[in-house]
């Protein structure tokens, strides 16, 4: 089983997956959501089922002083709703999900800044960042969780 990292955004939801040894995170694409990342549930559930995800790590966009604003509260609601949806899928005999992945939230402050820096370091032009920055942020979120789990 692998872990899934998620960076919730208003235009795209970035995804990252770990390797089976839970050492490295790698980009796994974006889901276009056009202003409401609650639209991403079906696609996320498909990834969870297809990849047999054991843990879902959702970025929590805290404010710089560590408090929760609207975005963090919405991310908490999204993670809670994902858990409820997973429970409902487990009860549905037609669903391919027969296990309950853990869901955790992790501070994602500055992950987008870090993602842009990494993309510049990789010499990817700034015009091309938009298409990959969300999944690169998801990689940072997931890699942080993997490193914390190893400690």
Closest CA to 79 of 110, 50, 112, 55: 55
141 neighbors 57 (Cβ within 8 angstroms):
yes
35 neighbors 81 (Cβ within 8 angstroms):
no
Quote the CA–CA distance of 122 and 133 in Å, as a whole number. Answer: 12
- Region of poorest pLDDT, from 6-10, 34-38, 74-78, 110-114: 110-114
Quote the CA–CA distance of 80 and 57 in Å, as a whole number. Answer: 12
Q: Where are the beta strands (DSSP E) in 19-80?
A: 25-32, 53-60
Residue 34 sits in which domain range? 2-150
Q: What is the CATH number for 72?
A: 3.30.420.140
- pLDDT tens string 65-115: 888 889 899 999 999 999 999 998 888 766 777 889 999 999 987 566 565
Token duo for residue 2: 């692998």
User: How many structural domains compose the chain?
Assistant: 1
User: pTM for the full model?
Assistant: 0.85
């Amino acid at each position: 089983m692998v872990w899934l990292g998620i960076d919730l955004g208003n235009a795209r939801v970035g995804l990252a997956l770990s390797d089976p040894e839970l050492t490295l995170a790698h980009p796994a694409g974006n889901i276009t959501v056009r202003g409401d990342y609650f639209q991403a549930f079906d696609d996320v559930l498909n990834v969870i089922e297809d990849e047999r995800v054991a843990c879902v790590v959702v970025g929590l966009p805290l404010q710089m002083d560590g408090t929760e604003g609207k975005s963090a509260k919405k991310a908490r609601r999204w993670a809670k709703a994902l858990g409820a949806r997973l429970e409902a899928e487990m009860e549905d005999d037609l669903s391919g999900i027969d296990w309950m992945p853990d869901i955790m939230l992790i501070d994602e402050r500055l992950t987008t800044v870090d993602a842009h820096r990494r993309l510049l370091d990789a010499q990817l032009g700034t015009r091309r960042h938009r298409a990959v920055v969300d999944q690169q942020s998801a990689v940072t979120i997931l890699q942080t969780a993997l490193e914390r789990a190893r400690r």
